[in-house]
């Protein structure tokens, strides 16, 4: 027991020593699920933010340090992680990754006047009425609206089926705004079928419902794991409509054991595609792959852009490592509304509501890669 | 017999004293009166959850340890308490916006949460507690899952003093309070450490008095030998029901306090894992040992946060600690050493007297 204690103490000291080295850096707290079922998203955000911070540090000038804390996607642990990061001296938060945890943490951050930029918390309520909470990704309702608009503008289909997860606020949020907008635009939703996290293995009921109603396009406002099952089970049922996804679908091509040919022709609305030809994306993907051995997804890109946005705002607001989180808040709010950042997910500007203004791009999967859809 | 009563009483007094001293120490650290004796933000933020988990562990110990039934759905009662408590508190706020009723709302929410969970406890208890064997474990397990899935489909909104309810349809007039899978949103926080402490004390008074009462002895008699208890005229179902419903009501109150500590709570929080977590507190603290439950709940809530410096290895170390504690407390060698020490102390004391 004494030995274990000694080792533990030694480890703890090593860690404090490594923290102490970079004293001048402004500390950015990243909170996300780094363990548990949503770990893919949390780790992607951590890695993306890390790469951005290293690039910025290499340029000289402002030095940033990323402090990451695990919340397992849970509100209670999110608030714990938030408190812990402030104990460790975080100045600004790039948090949190999942919507549920983000709602709980953003309320505490609003009360305590700590500036927070969420890379990927997409629930509408996160920024409502909270002037110091900003967002890099699109909010849920914006994605639903944009999807319906895109489908109508490009006359992809008139008979639409929807399969959504009725136990996931992300999915329901997108679906509800999609439904409202679709009705406005004269798109007919002929079938809708729900599933939940407990019943996400067999989709034959939902698929046959779509098939019977004659849906020409199936809208999937869900994450990529169930989406991959829907694709493969539709294929074996001999049903091949246009599948249309949102940003949660991003990642389907890197899913292990998934036959990419099944995703042929799938369209999705996402602000980032790892196959884009611009230099910024190419460099980012190359660095990410070299460092972490994976192709970055949209979450990593959001975090990368988030760190650059914070850097621009920090420069404008004149924040230093000594600025207390409460004092950094108001200058950061003012600065965020003035900056314009050209990032991986497009050129971003922010308004006083905290919502980002950037263009969603639609991509279609051809031969196992994303191709910009026209 | 008198000797035993005295021993029980002094044991209970130690439990109360321990809780009160811990509370006073925390208050002292919070006030920051003594230099260098301050509480970190991280620990400060965990005070209310610790109180909640203590109440959860003690109440589950009533079912598992005292009544001898395995319940795997304790988080289900907690979620009922959380959501009904939040609804009551927000309704009071919406119905009487002018008057400041913070205390009434908090106490009212706790009572509402307790009552709703108790009703659920009665409903489950009626059919199940008549059965023998492990049926309670299976049914409570299912109950927890059913409640979680139902709460994912429930929508409540408030418009002045009127409450709107719908199932599966999110389009309601007024301000939405409980929003399906998004859970309760826009909750006005009311919970405080002091309230948590009072709830822990209340729980201890209820549970310890029950254990040392006529009813408590009947409950334990049924646990130890059902047939013998029946043969001396103890109404088995009634007493099992009593323990189960009190346990459910206390879990509901803990849930209400938990719900009012965060601005948002999702049904997904109260999944099977949470029930198991509370069961781990009980098992690690010692089944039937109330003081052990309190200590285990506190330590195991704080521990994962203390281990944050270990980064990725945090949960691994947490798991190892669990295993080590479990092995250590059950090792006969360690036990005999401890007993030997206690014996020596006793001898030394007696030696002093003589």
The predicted structure's pLDDT at residue A132: 93
Residues 6+ apart with CB under 8 A from B265: A75, B82, B83, B86, B183, B184, B187, B258, B259
The predicted structure's pLDDT at residue B8: 75
Please give, rounded to a whole number of angstroms, the shortest distance from the CA of B159 to a CA of chain A.
19
Whether the CB of A74 is below 8 Å from some CB of chain B: the reply is yes
Which has the higher per-residue pLDDT, B5 or B23?
A: B23
Fold designation for A19-137+280-357? Rossmann fold (3.40.50)
Region B251-277: what's the mean pLDDT? Answer: 93
Region A114-130: what's the mean pLDDT? Answer: 91
Average pLDDT over chain B, rounded to whole?
89
- Residues on chain B touching A75 (C-beta within 8 angstroms): 262, 264-266, 269
Region A228-236: what's the mean pLDDT? Answer: 91
Query: Per residue in A78-111, pLDDT tens?
Result: 999 999 999 999 999 998 998 889 999 999 999 9
Please give, rounded to a whole number of angstroms, the shortest distance from the CA of B262 to a CA of chain A.
6
Sequence ranges of chain A with CATH classification 3.40.50.2300: 19-137+280-357, 141-270
Radius of gyration, CA atoms only, chain B: 22
Residue B233, Ramachandran bin (φ over 0: left; ψ between -120 and 50: alpha; else beta): left
What is the DSSP annotation of A61-92? SS-EEEEEEE-TT-HHHHHHHHHHHHHTT--E
Residue in chain B closest to A106 (alpha carbons) equals B263
Cβ pair A315, A62 in contact under 8 A:
yes
Whether the CB of B182 is below 8 Å from some CB of chain A: the reply is yes
Query: Per residue in A329-370, pLDDT tens?
Result: 999 999 999 999 999 988 999 999 999 888 877 888 888 777
Q: Report the DSSP pairing between strands A133-135 and A340-343.
A: unpaired
When CB atoms are compared, the residue of B170, B262, B305 closest to A84 is B305
- Interface pTM, i.e. ipTM: 0.87
Residues 6+ apart with CB under 8 A from A365: A253, A260, A263, A264, A265, A266, A267, A268, A371
Cβ pair A344, A287 in contact under 8 A:
no
Cβ pair A104, B290 in contact under 8 A:
no
Q: Say if the Cβ atoms of B182 and A172 lie within 8 Å.
A: yes
When CB atoms are compared, the residue of B179, B264, B317 closest to A104 is B264
Query: Per residue in B216-257, pLDDT tens?
Result: 999 999 999 999 999 999 999 999 999 999 999 999 999 999
Please give, rounded to a whole number of angstroms, the shortest distance from the CA of A347 to a CA of chain B.
30
Cβ pair A302, A120 in contact under 8 A:
yes
Whether the CB of B216 is below 8 Å from some CB of chain A: the reply is no
pTM above 0.90, yes or no: no
Q: Say if the Cβ atoms of A168 and B269 lie within 8 Å.
A: no
Handedness of CA B250, B252, B255, B260 (dihedral sign): negative
When CB atoms are compared, the residue of B262, B305, B311 closest to A75 is B262
The predicted structure's pLDDT at residue B19: 94
**Is residue A225's pLDDT more than 80?**
yes
Please give, rounded to a whole number of angstroms, the shortest distance from the CA of B284 to a CA of chain A.
19
- Residues on chain B touching A222 (C-beta within 8 angstroms): none
- Residues on chain B touching A167 (C-beta within 8 angstroms): 149, 152, 181, 268
- Residues on chain A touching B145 (C-beta within 8 angstroms): 198
CA distance B130 to B127: 6
Name the CATH code of domain A141-270 (choices 3.60.20.10, 3.40.50.2300, 3.30.1330.10, 2.30.30.40): 3.40.50.2300
Cβ pair B286, B292 in contact under 8 A:
yes
Cα-flanking dihedrals φ and ψ of residue B339, to 5°? -60, -40
Chain A, 123 to 152: residues with Cβ < 8 Å from chain B are 123, 125
**Is residue A60's pLDDT more than 70?**
yes
Q: Say if the Cβ atoms of A69 and B152 lie within 8 Å.
A: no
Q: What percent of chain B has pLDDT over 90?
A: 56
CA distance A65 to A60: 13
Q: Say if the Cβ atoms of A176 and B170 lie within 8 Å.
A: yes
The predicted structure's pLDDT at residue A170: 85
Chain A, 315 to 374: residues with Cβ < 8 Å from chain B are none
CA distance A218 to A162: 5
């Amino acid at each position: 027991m004494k030995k274990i204690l000694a080792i533990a103490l030694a480890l703890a000291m090593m860690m404090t020593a490594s923290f102490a080295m970079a004293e001048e850096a402004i500390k950015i707290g990243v909170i996300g699920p780094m363990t548990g079922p949503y770990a893919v998203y949390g780790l992607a955000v951590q890695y993306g933010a890390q790469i951005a911070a290293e690039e910025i540090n290499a340029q000289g000038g402002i030095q940033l340090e990323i402090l990451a804390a695990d919340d397992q996607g849970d509100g209670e642990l999110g608030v714990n992680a938030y408190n812990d990061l402030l104990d460790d001296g975080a100045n600004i938060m790039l948090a949190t990754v999942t919507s549920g945890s983000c709602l709980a943490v953003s309320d505490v951050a609003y009360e305590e006047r700590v500036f927070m930029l969420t890379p990927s918390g997409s629930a509408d309520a996160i920024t409502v009425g909270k002037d110091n909470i900003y967002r890099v990704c699109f909010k849920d309702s914006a994605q639903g609206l944009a999807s319906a608009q895109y489908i109508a503008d490009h006359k992809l289909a008139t008979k639409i089926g929807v399969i959504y997860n009725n136990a996931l606020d992300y999915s329901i949020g997108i679906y509800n705004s999609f439904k409202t907008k679709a009705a406005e635009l004269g798109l007919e939703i002929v079938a809708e079928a729900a599933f939940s996290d407990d019943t996400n293995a067999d989709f034959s009921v939902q698929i046959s419902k779509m098939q019977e109603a004659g849906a020409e396009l199936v809208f999937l406002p869900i994450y990529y794991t169930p989406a991959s099952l829907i694709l493969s089970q539709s294929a074996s049922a001999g049903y091949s409509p246009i599948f249309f996804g949102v940003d949660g679908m991003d990642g389907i091509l890197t899913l292990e054991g998934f036959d990419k040919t099944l995703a042929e022709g799938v369209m999705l609305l996402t602000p980032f595609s790892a196959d884009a030809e611009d230099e910024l994306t190419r460099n980012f993907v190359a660095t990410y792959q070299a460092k972490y051995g994976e192709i970055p997804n949209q979450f990593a890109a959001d975090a990368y852009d988030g760190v650059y946005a914070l850097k621009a705002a920090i420069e404008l607001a004149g924040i230093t490592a000594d600025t207390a989180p409460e004092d950094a808040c108001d200058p950061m709010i003012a600065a965020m509304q003035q900056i314009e950042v050209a990032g991986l997910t497009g050129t971003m500007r922010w308004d006083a509501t905290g919502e980002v203004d950037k263009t969603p791009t639609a991509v279609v999967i051809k031969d196992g890669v994303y191709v910009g859809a026209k | 017999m008198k000797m035993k009563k005295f021993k029980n009483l002094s044991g209970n007094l130690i439990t109360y004293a321990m809780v009160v001293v811990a509370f006073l120490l925390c208050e002292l650290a919070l006030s920051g009166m003594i230099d260098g004796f301050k509480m970190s933000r991280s620990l400060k933020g965990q005070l209310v959850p610790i109180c909640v988990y203590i109440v959860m562990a003690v109440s589950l110990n009533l079912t598992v340890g005292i009544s001898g039934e395995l319940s795997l759905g304790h988080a289900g009662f907690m979620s009922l308490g959380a959501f009904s408590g939040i609804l009551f508190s927000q309704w009071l706020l919406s119905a009487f916006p002018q008057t400041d009723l913070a205390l009434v709302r908090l106490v009212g929410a706790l009572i509402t949460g307790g009552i709703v969970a108790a009703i659920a406890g009665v409903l489950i208890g009626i059919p199940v507690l008549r059965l023998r064997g492990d049926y309670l474990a299976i049914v409570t397990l299912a109950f927890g899952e059913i409640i979680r899935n139902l709460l994912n489909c429930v929508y409540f909104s408030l418009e002045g003093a009127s409450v709107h309810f719908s199932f599966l349809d999110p389009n309601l007039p007024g301000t939405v309070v409980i929003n399906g899978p998004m859970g309760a949103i826009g909750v006005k926080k009311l919970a405080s450490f002091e309230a948590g402490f009072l709830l822990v004390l209340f729980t201890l008074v209820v549970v310890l008095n029950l254990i040392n009462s006529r009813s408590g002895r009947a409950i334990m008699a049924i646990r130890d030998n059902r047939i013998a208890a029946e043969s001396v005229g103890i109404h088995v179902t009634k007493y099992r029901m009593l323990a189960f419903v009190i346990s459910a009501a206390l879990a509901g109150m803990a849930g209400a306090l938990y719900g009012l500590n965060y601005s948002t709570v999702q049904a997904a929080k109260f999944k099977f894992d949470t029930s198991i977590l509370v069961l781990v507190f009980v098992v690690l603290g010692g089944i039937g040992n109330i003081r052990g439950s309190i200590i285990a709940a506190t330590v195991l809530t704080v521990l994962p946060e203390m281990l944050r410096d270990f980064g990725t290895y945090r949960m691994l170390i947490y798991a190892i600690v669990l295993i080590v504690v479990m092995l250590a407390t059950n090792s006969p060698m360690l036990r005999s050493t401890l007993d030997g020490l206690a014996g020596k102390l006793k001898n030394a004391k007696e030696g002093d007297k003589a």
